[in-house]
Chains A and B, each alone.
Chain A
Amino acid sequence: MVEFDVVEFEPADAPTAGEVAPDFTRPLVNDEYWENTSLSAVTADGPTLLVFYSMNGAFPATYVWNELRDREWSDLLSVVGITISTPYDHKSFLDDRNLTDVSLFSDPSNEVAADYGVAHDLDGMAGVSEPRLSFFLLSEDRTIEHSWIASEWPEFPDYDELEAELKDAL
């Protein structure tokens, strides 16, 4: 049997269900333009799924967004991603993956992930920190209804379970 050397994360120091998710403002990229936008402006429009993910180009980014696109969660609530990629990169990523109903925050400094306790320094990429994969289901006042945070690198959620939680909360 092949033993994989899976990297375990330190326990995340992230806000948990019932707490209010920290607000932030970053350029939010859609398929046409980007504009400084606060998380609270997004959640004010209704329940929101906030997804921290690996930089565009890494295979986990592709896996996650193909899955979210195919599950059409953006029909149920606002779906926004955040990672360290630039706005230009986000725009290409949205085009390449045919993501038309989601938008992506650009946070090259990874400060937002640090603020949420889900930052991850990449081994072998000096000076580069990115978010670990995390999902936060937020209500209109940014209260966290449910969250899932990767405990290993890489690790993916049980999407069916997440979808059940999501439909439960809506």
Chain B
Amino acid sequence: MSTDEPSITLYRLQACPYCERVVRTLEQYNLTYRSRFVEPMHSDRNVVKRISGKRSVPAIVDTDTGVTMSESGNIVTYLDRTYGNGGEN
């Protein structure tokens, strides 16, 4: 809604360890991101299905690179490669 939206959006579930793992990586690289919390009920996560094709969280959307991705292992690897050692930021 505002003009200074961060490029990374994290779809997450409260108290989900896999989501927290992604959060730790985002913080490690000082990335600004916004959090969108969804419901525990898998069937109620239509927004996640719509953006990523799956209802699993965490899922991230990075509008800087055009990447949408789910599963914490994949996301952490992506963040390491894109923003970690050897990356621009």
Contacts and interface: CB of A to CB of B under 8 A. Distances in A.
A36 B12 CA distance: 13
A45 B2 CA distance: 8
Contacts, number: 30
B2 A44 contact: yes
Contacts of A35: 34-37
Nearest to B5: A41
Interface stretch (A26-34, A68-76, A137-145, A147-155): A26-34
Interface residues of A, number: 16
Interface majority SS (helix, strand, loop, mixed), chain A: mixed
Interface string B24-61: 00000000001111110000001100000000000000
Closest 10 CB pairs of A and B: A32-B47, A41-B2, A33-B36, A41-B1, A35-B36, A34-B37, A33-B38, A33-B47, A45-B1, A33-B37
17 contacts: A27-B37, A32-B38, A33-B37, A33-B38, A34-B36, A34-B37, A35-B35, A35-B36, A35-B37, A36-B35, A40-B2, A41-B2, A42-B1, A44-B1, A45-B1, A87-B37, A88-B39
